[in-house]
Amino acid sequence: MQKAAIITGGSSGIGKALVLKYANEGYAVTFTGRNKQRMQQVSNELGKRTHLALELDASNRGDNEKMVSETIKSFGRLDVLVCNAGISMRALFEDLDPDVFKRLMDINFYGAVYATKFALPHLLESKGTIIAISSINGWRSTPARSAYSASKFAMQGFYESLRTEIMNRGVHVLVVCPGFTCSNIRNVALNAEGQAQGESPRDEEKMMTSEEVADRTFEAAIKKKRDLILTFQGKMAVLLNKFIPSKLDKLVYKMMKKEADNPLK
Ligand SMILES: NC(=O)c1ccc[n+]([C@@H]2O[C@H](COP(=O)([O-])OP(=O)(O)OC[C@H]3O[C@@H](n4cnc5c(N)ncnc54)[C@H](OP(=O)(O)O)[C@@H]3O)[C@@H](O)[C@H]2O)c1
């Protein structure tokens, strides 16, 4: 029977690249998202390859339950769950509407918790793989990204606990931490009032591609790696933060202060 994967947030960026990668590797793929047009585009690119496109909200518990039950109904099994759906934000915490903070936690963190909760029985059965798409911000926070960083730290704490809980049950847990990656995330990142900021404040062309993140993620899962930390800058941030965190506070502030229209004072 064909193996099956679920990828949350598959309509764009890293999620879309993962959908195409898993489909090319022979998996039946379920992917979710909210943007009908972009989801249709991904479906068109998949063509005859077995897939299920579900218009669902990652932050909704019932939608996550449906995502898993529809997958089992269609494909009869589940081998890989990728918790990828996510949004970002950019604002000083002092200006940030707490509802925007909550929205980030609801999508990035609770979205992963719900998806994992409903998928876990099937993954225990197939001795499958859980892949969490976190961020370098899950190791080292940056200013004006308080809610985003908090959501990624929360994800990593959750998966570290779960990985240890199920370590003798045959399910592999991989946490992927991309560095800056070319995608739509900075265009739709929320400002202090919860509106999409509309454009990226960084040069997207200079970033790692979403396709490279997807390829490296697939390989790391095959090799049963625990963590995948991407980009030279990302690896340095994680390493230096371990040994010289105060120095890194200053370096990170300086780096983020260079962003176009940054809110730092
Ligand atoms: N790009 C980077 O520099 C970077 C770096 C580190 C980590 N990451 C992580 O990589 C993951 C993917 O981000 P990306 O860079 O590929 O961004 P992206 O191009 O904006 O894609 C985000 C995906 O998540 C989906 N999504 C967002 N909110 C959702 C919701 N409530 N329900 C269902 N789907 C939702 C979007 O679909 P719809 O718009 O159709 O809802 C889209 O498919 C995120 O977890 C992000 O934190 C990205």
> For position 64, which CATH number holds?
3.40.50.720
Q: Which carries the bigger pLDDT value, residue 205 or residue 133?
A: 133
> For 5-18, what is each residue's pLDDT tens digit?
999 999 999 999 99
Q: Which domain holds residue 84?
A: 4-257
Asked if 27 is an active-site residue, the reply is no
Per the structure, the count of domains in the chain is: 1
Q: Is residue 264 part of a domain?
A: no
Mean pLDDT, residues 48-59 taken together: 98
Separation of 159 CA from ligand 1 center, angstroms?
19
Q: Residue 265 falls within a domain, yes or no?
A: no
Within a domain: residue 100? yes
Choose the catalytic residue: 27, 148, 159, 253: 148
Mean pLDDT of the chain: 97
Find the residues whose C-beta lies inside 6 A of ligand 1. 9-15, 32-35, 38, 57-59, 84-87, 107, 133, 135, 178, 180-181, 183-185, 188, 210
Question: Is 262 part of a structural domain of the chain?
Answer: no
Measured CA to CA in angstroms, residue 68 lies from 65, 103, 112 at distances of: 5, 22, 13
pTM: 0.98
**What pLDDT, on the 0 to 100 scale, is given for residue 115?**
99
At residue 189, the pLDDT reads 96
Which atom, in ligand 1's list, is nearest to the CA of 11?
Answer: 43
E runs forming strands in the chain: 4-7, 28-33, 51-55, 80-83, 129-133, 172-177, 227-229
- Burial per residue of 237-247, b for 16 or more beta-carbon CB atoms within 10 angstroms, e otherwise: bbeebeeeeee
Q: Whose CA is nearest to atom 23 of ligand 1?
A: 9
pLDDT tens track for 216-260: 999 999 999 999 999 999 999 999 999 999 999 999 999 999 998
Pocket test for ligand 1, best of 20, 34, 176 (most atoms within 8 A of CB): 34
